[in-house]
């Protein structure tokens, strides 16, 4: 239930958590309560009136859209899968990586200048393994190809190696994982950074929301998208 | 075509029975609430000087071909004896606009009308049909922003009267985004980008597009009205900056009138609102329940529609979706409603039973009578009555004496003598 007094923040567990806490601090939100993280998933900070929920990154949007949290921090990749259910307020600038199509190294080299040819050379339907079925479907629609999207939860890089898929769509940051699995990037899809999202109703009715977001608004206005630590 | 319509129609009745009226008690309850809602709305609309009209169920197909609010495949079409194509009304606005532009051409404006009834549309993406029970109003021949504000206030009053406590009215303007993209000099690609960002509530994407255009002064005020919670001050600030934004000025005037009407607390500016129907030409508004996201109704200005029927004129209106409202309305509690009683008697006391029933009806109760054979009335009559949703049972015994038994499992208990 949405709480009038408390502001509830849904934070992603994993690699985005540390920089998220950093941003919270820069907003003047004390996240000390979260520093000694044990196994608790819900942390109250009674002094400041904040409540933190630690959830799976892919569930942050759901917590916020359903009103269980007022605000959330989540990667743009997850938002692309669920457009329109929450307000995407600010680009927080950290967690930078990108979504890309990748294929076997040799194949990628052969068709490095024209990904369309690579997709067509594989015979139809083109099998694509990904964690992001919606984004993938939308992207490949522009090619007008017959595609078969294989939705996986993790270890996407494995799919082309064992013949489960022809290509994959996944997040790439350093490219090391691709390299280690004899894969190479074929096509760029979208830039991904962490975003601050808000529940539409909270944004309108929660009394603390305006003052809370003011520092971010000023940072954005000044043209800096990355509030420092 | 006729066959398809007939087949869909039988599906429609089946679906309604299946989906909404899966049991008799629910069907009766829904009907009762629907009738109650219509009578409340009739009073509300009447108090604002709107006169009720009945819109013909079968209308000329031509009406929906000229300025097509819905794709042709969404219409139920049939052919009459003379080979004319008729449609089951998919919407009440177009037939009324047609009459306003034709038969009522010389009636002094403004005309205030209201209507109640069902509209029929085929579901386009899925299978099956779509019957909406609507209650709506049309205000014909009034072009001032106060007319739009009047409808917003009337819609708010109607929803309150129906017991919908939590609702929100989103107000937008059909031409606003086009004007914005003119003022900001957006390319068609950027225009698409901005529209889809707003539809996805992606303010980061919207900011990207705006910043590319280097209208620095406009970016923040624009983003402020793109986000929820925008107020008249935000609109005023933006209106000063963008003098050529006519839609925005209009919205501001409507919002100010809504403030005078005391409904602005319910109103939220939503620039991405575009309306389902292509005939909207100005302000558009949608009423919805913020918790469930259910859309309770939609309205807007359609100044072009009368013109397309040969007599140009301003017009605005709204329609409420009574099925959705019934789900949202918090008037399901039965505490205050009249009691339903069962009068039970054996054959010898039939006259007494009928007299008692008539007396109870006079007192405002709902009464059914059941005759049973000779012999005493047992306990089982209570469970019999409970299964049929009676609140109380009045047993008239062989001596003509009356015993009241509560049958109700509902709150409020049995019938008090």
pLDDT digits (tens, 9 = 90+) for B322-363: 988 887 775 434 334 567 888 888 878 888 889 889 888 887
Same domain? For B246 and B368 the reply is: no
**Searching chain A, which residue's CA lies closest to the CA of residue B197?**
A84
SS3 B394: strand
Chain B contact set for A89 (CB, 8 A) = 203-204, 227
CB contact under 8 A, B202 and A220: no
In a domain, A228, yes or no: no
Measured between alpha carbons, how far is B223 from B227 in angstroms, rounded to an integer?
Answer: 6
Chain B contact set for A87 (CB, 8 A) = 201, 203, 227-228
The angle subtended at Cα B272 by Cα B271 and Cα B276, nearest 5°, is: 120
**Searching chain B, which residue's CA lies closest to the CA of residue A2?**
B291
CB contact under 8 A, A89 and B290: no
Give the model's pLDDT for residue B136. Answer: 97
Name which of B204, B220, B229 is nearest A203 (Cβ-Cβ): B229
Same domain? For B286 and B383 the reply is: no
- Segment B293-316 shows an average pLDDT of 88
In a domain, A211, yes or no: yes
Measured between alpha carbons, how far is B347 from B355 in angstroms, rounded to an integer?
Answer: 14
| B374 secondary structure, DSSP code | S
Tokens 């994993």 belong to: A14
Mutate to test the interface with A, among B201, B216, B217, B233 (most CBs of A within 10 A): B201
Nearest to A8 by CA among A54, A47, A74, A39: A54
Same domain? For B60 and B172 the reply is: yes
Please state the ipTM of this predicted complex: 0.77
Measured between alpha carbons, how far is A99 from B293 in angstroms, rounded to an integer?
Answer: 31
CATH code assigned at A168: 3.40.190.10
Q: Which of residues 14-43 of A touch B (CB under 8 A)?
A: none
Same domain? For B318 and B345 the reply is: no
Same domain? For B240 and B363 the reply is: no
pLDDT at B80 over 80: yes
With an 8 Å Cβ cutoff, is B28 touching chain A?
A: no
pLDDT above 90 covers a percentage of chain B that reads 26
In a domain, B21, yes or no: yes
CATH code assigned at B363: 3.40.50.800
User: Domains in chain B: how many in total?
Assistant: 2
Average pLDDT, chain B: 81
Q: Please, what are the averages of pLDDT over each run of 10 residues along chain A (229 residues)?
A: 68 90 82 70 82 92 90 94 88 92 90 85 88 93 88 92 94 92 93 91 74 76 53
Measured between alpha carbons, how far is A34 from A44 in angstroms, rounded to an integer?
Answer: 9
**Searching chain B, which residue's CA lies closest to the CA of residue A205?**
B229
Name which of B205, B268, B291 is nearest A204 (Cβ-Cβ): B268
Which of B328, B349, B380 is the last residue before a domain boundary?
A: B328
Give the model's pLDDT for residue B30. Answer: 85
Measured between alpha carbons, how far is B294 from B288 in angstroms, rounded to an integer?
Answer: 6
With an 8 Å Cβ cutoff, is B56 touching chain A?
A: no
In a domain, A229, yes or no: no
CB contact under 8 A, A88 and B207: no
Give the model's pLDDT for residue B224. Answer: 81
Name which of A84, A85, A203 is nearest B228 (Cβ-Cβ): A203
- Segment B190-201 shows an average pLDDT of 84
Same domain? For B391 and B292 the reply is: no
**Searching chain A, which residue's CA lies closest to the CA of residue B202?**
A88
With an 8 Å Cβ cutoff, is A167 touching chain B?
A: no
Give the model's pLDDT for residue B125. Answer: 53
Which residues lie closer than 8 Å to A59 by C-beta, 6 or more apart?
A10
CB contact under 8 A, B200 and A83: yes
With an 8 Å Cβ cutoff, is A226 touching chain B?
A: no
Name which of A67, A84, A89 is nearest B203 (Cβ-Cβ): A89
Kindly report, residue by residue over B96-118, the tens digit of the pLDDT.
Answer: 999 999 899 999 999 999 999 99
Q: Which of residues 183-202 of B touch A (CB under 8 A)?
A: 199-202
- DSSP strands (E only) in B211-294: 267-269, 283-288
Same domain? For B268 and B363 the reply is: no
Same domain? For A125 and A20 the reply is: no
With an 8 Å Cβ cutoff, is A89 touching chain B?
A: yes
Are B5 and B76 a contacting pair, CB within 8 Å? yes
- Host domain of residue B97: 2-328
CB contact under 8 A, B201 and A200: yes
- Host domain of residue A123: 97-190
Concatenated DSSP letters for B22-42?
SSHHHHHHHHHHHHHHHHHHH
Same domain? For A178 and A203 the reply is: no
Same domain? For B357 and B253 the reply is: no
Lowest mean pLDDT among A133-147, B49-63, B75-89, B278-292: B278-292
User: Domains in chain A: how many in total?
Assistant: 2
- DSSP strands (E only) in B12-128: 51-52, 58-60, 77-79, 85-88, 111-122
**Searching chain B, which residue's CA lies closest to the CA of residue A219?**
B220
Give the model's pLDDT for residue A63. Answer: 93
CB contact under 8 A, B200 and A84: yes
With an 8 Å Cβ cutoff, is A221 touching chain B?
A: yes
Most trustworthy range by pLDDT among B258-267, B314-323, B346-355, B384-393: B314-323
**Searching chain A, which residue's CA lies closest to the CA of residue B272?**
A84
With an 8 Å Cβ cutoff, is A139 touching chain B?
A: no
Are B416 and B341 a contacting pair, CB within 8 Å? no
Kindly report, residue by residue over B211-240, the tens digit of the pLDDT.
Answer: 887 666 777 788 888 877 777 778 777 777
With an 8 Å Cβ cutoff, is A94 touching chain B?
A: no
Name which of B201, B219, B268 is nearest A88 (Cβ-Cβ): B201
Same domain? For A91 and A200 the reply is: yes
Q: Please compute, for residue B186, the number of CA atoms within 13 A of its CA located in the half-sphere on the CB side.
A: 22
Same domain? For A123 and A148 the reply is: yes
CB contact under 8 A, B202 and A83: yes
Which residues lie closer than 8 Å to B82 by C-beta, 6 or more apart?
none
Are A9 and A73 a contacting pair, CB within 8 Å? yes
């Amino acid at each position: 239930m949405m709480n009038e007094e408390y502001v509830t923040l849904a934070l992603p567990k994993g690699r985005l958590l540390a920089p998220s806490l950093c941003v919270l601090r820069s907003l003047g939100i004390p996240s000390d309560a979260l520093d000694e993280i044990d196994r608790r998933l819900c942390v109250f900070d009674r002094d400041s009136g904040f409540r933190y929920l630690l959830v799976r990154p892919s569930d942050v949007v759901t917590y916020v859209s359903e009103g269980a949290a007022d605000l959330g921090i989540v990667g743009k990749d997850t938002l692309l899968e669920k457009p329109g259910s929450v307000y995407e307020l600010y680009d927080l600038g950290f967690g930078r990586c990108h979504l890309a199509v990748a294929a076997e190294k040799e194949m990628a080299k052969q068709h490095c200048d024209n990904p369309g040819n690579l997709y067509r050379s594989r015979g139809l339907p083109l099998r694509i393994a990904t964690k992001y079925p919606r984004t993938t479907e939308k992207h490949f629609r522009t090619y007008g190809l017959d595609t078969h999207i294989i939705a996986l939860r993790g270890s996407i890089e494995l799919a082309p190696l064992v013949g489960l898929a022809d290509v994959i769509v996944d997040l790439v940051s350093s490219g090391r994982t691709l390299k280690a699995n004899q894969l190479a990037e074929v096509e760029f899809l979208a830039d991904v950074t962490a975003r601050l999202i808000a529940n539409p109703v909270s944004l309108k009715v929660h009394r603390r929301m305006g003052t809370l977001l003011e520092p971010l608004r000023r940072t954005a206005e000044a043209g800096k998208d990355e509030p420092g630590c | 075509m006729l066959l398809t319509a007939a087949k869909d129609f039988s599906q429609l009745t089946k679906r309604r029975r299946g989906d909404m009226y899966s049991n008799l008690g629910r069907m009766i309850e829904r009907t009762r609430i629907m009738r109650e809602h219509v009578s409340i709305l009739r009073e509300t609309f009447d108090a604002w000087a709107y006169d009720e009209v009945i819109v013909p169920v079968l209308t000329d197909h031509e009406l929906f071909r000229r300025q097509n609010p819905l794709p042709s495949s969404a219409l139920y079409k049939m052919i009459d004896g003379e080979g004319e194509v008729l449609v089951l009304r998919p919407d009440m606005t177009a037939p009324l606009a047609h009459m306003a532009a034709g038969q009522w051409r010389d009636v002094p404006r403004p005309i205030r009308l209201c209507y109640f009834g069902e509209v029929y549309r085929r579901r386009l993406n899925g299978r099956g049909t779509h019957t909406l029970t609507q209650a709506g109003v049309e205000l014909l021949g009034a072009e001032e922003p106060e007319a739009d504000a009047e409808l917003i206030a009337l819609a708010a009053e109607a929803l309150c009267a129906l017991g919908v406590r939590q609702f929100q009215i989103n107000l937008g303007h059909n031409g606003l985004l086009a004007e914005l993209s003119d003022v900001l000099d957006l390319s068609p690609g950027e225009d698409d980008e901005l529209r889809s960002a707003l539809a996805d509530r992606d303010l980061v994407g919207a900011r990207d597009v705006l910043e590319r255009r280097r209208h620095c002064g406009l970016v923040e005020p624009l983003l402020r009205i793109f986000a929820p919670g925008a107020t008249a001050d935000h609109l005023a600030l933006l209106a000063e900056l963008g003098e050529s934004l006519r839609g925005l000025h209009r919205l501001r005037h409507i919002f100010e009138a809504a403030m005078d009407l005391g409904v602005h607390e319910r109103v939220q500016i939503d620039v991405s609102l575009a309306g389902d129907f292509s005939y909207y030409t100005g302000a558009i508004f949608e009423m919805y329940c913020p918790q469930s996201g259910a859309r309770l109704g939609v309205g807007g200005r359609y100044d072009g529609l009368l013109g397309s029927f040969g007599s140009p004129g301003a017009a605005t209106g709204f329609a409420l979706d009574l099925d959705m409202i019934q789900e949202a309305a918090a008037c399901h509690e039965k505490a205050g409603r009249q009691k339903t009683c069962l009068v039970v008697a054996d054959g010898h006391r039939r006259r007494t039973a009928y007299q008692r029933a008539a007396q109870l009806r006079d007192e405002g109760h709902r009464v059914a009578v059941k005759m049973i054979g000779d012999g005493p009335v047992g306990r089982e009559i209570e469970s019999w009555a409970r299964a049929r949703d009676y609140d109380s049972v009045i047993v008239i015994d062989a001596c003509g004496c009356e015993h009241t038994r509560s049958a109700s499992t509902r709150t409020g208990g049995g019938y008090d003598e």
